[in-house]
Amino acid sequence: MQNALSQRMSGWAANWAQRRQGRDARAVTLQRRRIYILPTRFGIVFGLLVLAMLLGSLNYDASLGFALTFLLAGLGLVIMHHCHNNLLAMQIRFAGALPVFAGQPALYRIALVNSAPAARYELELAHAGQISGPVDLAPGHSKTLEIAVPTDARGWRRLSRFAIATRYPGSLFRAWTWIHMDALCLVYPAPAPVGRPIPTGPSHHGTRGMPAQDDSDFVGLRRATPADSPGRVAWKAYARSGQLMVKQFSGAAEVPSMLDWDSLPELGTEARLAQLTRWCLDAAAEMRSFGVRLPTTAVALGSGEKHLHECLQALALFEMPAS
């Protein structure tokens, strides 16, 4: 109940902040007027402590009691300013997000850049109840925080509002800023299950209906690098070990195939895209040259990493409004 109320309040405040700030570019340098600050629970307890001390000093007419009370009150205010300043003039940059298939978490990378000559401490990224960090930033250094967001549909996935926050020093206050930046992650359609063979087009080979020749031999797994195609990732191995591995094949069937939207008339739009995605991955894994033909667009025959991504992007963005 209380939680719901506080959520509504913070949602309202965040919307207000967005109206006031507008949308952000992909690199933001924090200005004073967009850094918000409130006391934490400890800050409230600390405030009550100072109040209790004030009452005690009044009652006992204790001059030194007043002195300590006011020293701590001053300390609280000074800490508030340091907390606010811990974010001031820091740069926040979107450092990219690798494309994923729908259903996989999108991993957005946000770089915090401290170009000031003073260190900043305990910076964290908060997004939809998740916290990433905290990290400390030495003068002139930058660090990247990652935030994972679940995906369910293909297309461009925009990172919703997130906050960069700090409780330094002393956890008495929390200063934060809301960021609404165009941090986009491309989400490919989730591939259909393995099984349906790639049709080899009649226009090219005349071996219609024949199962794809699979004369490439699976030889093993190796550790994945960012350059690897997601289609060659051994997802089953990933589920077992949590480590991204890619399948390696020897030999390749150089049978070019044009993967055609029209070859799957019995399926709905998303299912067709899923199947086409699967075929793209299979074709790339078999190191064939392939292309994609959609009603609105087509990708010519080709092969290689970059080509695969072009095809998958075409599938991901099919009939999507331009963003």
Partner 1 sequence: MSSRDHTLVPTERLLWTGGVVLGASLPHWPMLPVWIPALLGACVLWRLAAKLKGWPLPNRPLRLTLALLAFSGVVVRYGTVNGLSAGSALLVVMVALKFLESYTHRDQVVLMIIAYFLVFASLLHERGLLTAAYLLGYVWITTVGLLQLGRHGSLLPSWPTAKLAARLLLQAVPIMLILFLLFPRLPGPIWAISGGTSSGTTGLSETMSPGDITNLGLSDEVAFRVEFLTGAPRFDQLYWRGPVLAQFNGRTWSRSPGMRRRVLDTLAHSGEPTEYRVMLGPNGDNWAFAIDMPQTWAAEGRRNIVMGSDYQLRVLAGQPMEGRIAYRVTSYPSYTALEALTANEVAVFTRLPDGSNPRTRALVAQWLVDDPSPDEIIARALDVFRAEGFFYTLTPPALGRHTADEFIFDTREGFCEHYASALTIMLRAAGLPARVVTGYQGGELNGIGDYYIVRQMDAHAWTEVWLDERGWVRVDPIVAVAPERIALGSWRSALQGATARTRALTQLPWLRQALLAYDAANTYWNQWVVGYGPQLQRSLLRYLGFERARWAELMTLAAVSTVAILAGLTLYLGWTFHRQRNVDAAALCFAAFSRKLARARVPPLMPGEGPTAFARRAELKLPVVSADIRRIVQSYLAARYEPGGRAALVELKRLVKQFRAVRARL
> Could you tell me which residues are beta bridge partners of residue 298?
293
Reference 215, options 257, 186, 253; nearest CA is: 253
Question: Segment contacting partner 1 (CB under 8 A): 75-83, 226-234, 237-245, 301-309?
Answer: 75-83
Which is nearer to partner 1, 30 or 237 (by Cβ)?
Answer: 30
Pick 58 or 219: Cβ nearer partner 1: 58
- Residue with Cβ nearer partner 1 (75 or 267): 75
The correct pick among 4, 5, 64, 322 for binding partner 1 (CB under 8 A) is 64
**Two tokens, residue 124:** 């964290």
- Where are the alpha helices (H) located in 22-141, listed in sequence order? 41-60, 63-85
Does residue 108 interact with partner 1 by CB under 8 A?
Answer: no
Q: Does 36 bind partner 1 (CB under 8 A)?
A: no
242 near partner 1 (CB under 8 A): no
DSSP 197: P
Half-sphere exposure of 293 (CA within 13 A, CB side): 10
**CA–CA distance, 63 with 65 (Å, rounded to integer):** 5
Nearest CA-CA partner of 107 in 148, 143, 145: 148
State yes or no: residue 143 binds partner 1 (CB under 8 A).
yes
| Nearest in space to 118 (alpha carbons), one of 86, 142, 79 | 86
Which stretch in 53-61, 227-235, 270-278, 299-307 sits in contact with partner 1 by CB under 8 A? Answer: 53-61
* Closer residue to partner 1 (CB): 96 or 256: 96
Q: How far is CA 270 from CA 36, 231, 319, in A?
A: 43, 18, 11
Tell me if 134 contacts partner 1 by CB under 8 A. Answer: yes
Q: Strands of 184-188's sheet, edge to edge?
A: 100-101, 184-188, 155-158
- Residue 237 to residue 157: CA distance in whole angstroms: 27
Looking at 14, 37, 88, 253, which residue binds partner 1 (CB under 8 A)? Answer: 88
Specify whether the CB–CB gap between 34 and 90 falls below 8 A: no
Cis status, amide bond into 197, omega within 30 of 0 = no
Member of 95, 97, 175, 233 binding partner 1 (CB under 8 A)? 95
Residue number with CB closer to partner 1 (71 or 320): 71
Q: Residue holding tokens 């925080």?
A: 145
Nearer to partner 1, 9 or 77 (CB): 77
- In angstroms, give the least distance from the CB of 227 to partner 1: 15
Judged by CB under 8 A, the residue of 21, 104, 144, 248 near partner 1 is 144
Strand order in the sheet with 298-302: 257-260, 290-293, 298-302
Q: Within 163-202, which residues bind partner 1 (CB under 8 A)?
A: 167-172
Query: Closer to partner 1 at the Cβ: 47 or 256?
Result: 47
**Number of residues binding to partner 1, judged by CB under 8 A:** 59
List residues near partner 1 by CB under 8 A: 32, 41-42, 45-46, 49, 52-53, 56, 58-75, 77-79, 81-82, 85, 88-89, 93, 95, 109, 111, 113, 115-118, 121-122, 134, 136, 139-140, 142-144, 167-172
